[in-house]
Amino acid sequence: MVGLLLMLFSATLLPPMGVAWWYDGVEVVLPFAEALGATLGCGLLCWLPVCRFKIDLRNRDGFILVVVFWVLSSLLGALPFILSDQPEIRFVDAVFETVSGLTTTGASILSGLDTMPRAILYYRAQLHFLGGIGIVVLAVALLPMLGIGGMQLYRASTPGPMKDEKLTPRITETAKNLWYIYVGLNFLCFLAYWLAGMSPFDAICYSFTTVALGGFAPHDASIGYFQNPIMEWVTIAFMLIAMVNFALYFLAWRLRSLSAVYRNPEFRFCMKVVAG
């Protein structure tokens, strides 16, 4: 299972490779290609010895798998930073940057962002995107196609009091619906930033970091780089929208009413904290 998750994680290095080829040149593509090969190789090494066995996961197994996967993905996810000529950072700093991205903490040790390769800037934002709802939740949506159940992984990787509730009869459909909401919010946020005057590249990066409630930006001055109040209001609006439990949005859509959102004690408490 960990091997399959790592192979899925290796595929996420393809978009930054495309960004590197388009904006930066072949020399920036190579570190991502090497990291992809290493991650895919580790995934295959973990998966091939056990691929013929079929084991039902218990709740405890789900927690262990999620912990092991996030540790390995944090280490392997640091490879593009380590292998790239810019930025020149130590191994521990690269791991710190990766963990901060995947956990959407947003703390960074990097400076001079305005002169860095765009592939690195995009990769940092993509780490937020993946961590915002969890690549494990994406895996839950995809693994059943291989005959693997994902309820234990979903419970282990999802915070909050609603993780034990199935929004749909099949946990696969639940995971897919949460991802549809997440991707939809990112797309709307991208459009809002773009219409406010950002370049498409900046709009993508800022939408990833805004909806994930992270802090990685492609400029040292963050959103202040643009000196644009409209962009700042877009940031505020989408961060408020994104802080709400996505399951509530699904319930509101299914019931065709916002009452499920307004009556939720978690939502009311969050709004009181923001208003206070």
34 occurs within a structural domain: yes
- On the question of pLDDT at 124 being above 90, the answer is yes
Length of the chain in terms of residues written? 276
248 occurs within a structural domain: no
Contacts of residue 67, defined as CB under 8 A and 6 or more positions apart, other chains included, come to: none
Q: How far is it, in rounded angstroms, from Cα 235 to Cα 214?
A: 11
Residues 57-115: tens digit of each pLDDT:
666 766 777 788 889 999 999 999 999 988 888 999 999 999 999 989 989 999 899 99
> What total of structural domains would you count in the chain?
1
Contacts of residue 77, defined as CB under 8 A and 6 or more positions apart, other chains included, come to: 9, 98, 101, 102, 127
61 occurs within a structural domain: yes
* Average pLDDT of the segment spanning 238-266: 85
58 occurs within a structural domain: yes
Q: What is the pTM of this model?
A: 0.86
26 occurs within a structural domain: yes
252 occurs within a structural domain: no
- On the question of pLDDT at 152 being above 50, the answer is no
254 occurs within a structural domain: no
Average pLDDT, the chain: 84
Would you list the DSSP string of 119-178? HHHHHHHHHHHHHHH-HHHHHHHHGGGGT---HHHHHHH--STTTTS-SSSSHHHHHHHH
What domain range is 184 assigned to?
A: 2-243
* Average pLDDT of the segment spanning 127-152: 63
* Average pLDDT of the segment spanning 154-183: 64
Instruction: List the structure tokens of 121.
Output: 């800037």
